[in-house]
Amino acid sequence: MRVRTDDEVYRVDAVWLGPPKATFPWRARYVAWGVGIVVFLLVTAVQRQVGFGFDFINTGWGFVITVALTRFICSRISHERPLSSVLAMWVRELTAPRETTSGRGGAASAARIRVNGHRPRKRPKKGAKRASAATRSQHRTQQDRRQKEVRGVRTPA
């Protein structure tokens, strides 16, 4: 026995095909018409603010941009995710608190740069370094002998 779901009911889109006896050659949902009108008004307002005139070419490009934006927006809308939830999600996404990634700004200063009062000295040559190292090692062996003495035991003098 097969259990039927109610998915078929939701697959039917509320589509307006146009006026009676003069249908459009494309299918568009009612939501798409509403979104398209709002997007067209916004696109034309942006065009006017940018400085484009209200002529045939600019209005045509505005219509093309409107169709592209409307198709993009309506591709995100379905019966499971209506326009109101998409808009609420968009608003929450834009107003959500974000982690600050930029550093603290301010004027640059040399206050934290360390400056030494004397110039750095040159390193001694390699030969001089070896000679001084040899004399140091002789002093160390004598000091080690003195430290190795055990308390309470006399050493021959």
- Its pTM stands at 0.50
Using the 8-state DSSP alphabet, how is residue 17 labeled? -
Of 22-26, 80-84, 85-89, 146-150, the poorest mean pLDDT is in 146-150
pLDDT at 132 over 70: no
- Ordered by start, the domain boundaries in the chain are 11-92
Q: Give the C-alpha separation, 149 to 137, whole Å.
A: 19
Strand, helix or coil for residue 66? helix
Give the per-residue pLDDT at 40. 96
Helices (H), 56-125: 56-75, 83-95
The pLDDT tens digits of the residues spanning 22-75 come to: 777 777 788 888 999 999 999 999 999 998 888 899 999 999 999 999 999 888
Of 26-40, 43-57, 93-107, 115-129, the poorest mean pLDDT is in 115-129
- In the chain, the amino acid numbered 123 is R
Phi, psi (degrees; rounded to nearest 5) at 29: -75, 160
Burial tier of 13 (Cβ tally within 10 Å: 0-12, 13-18, 19+): middle
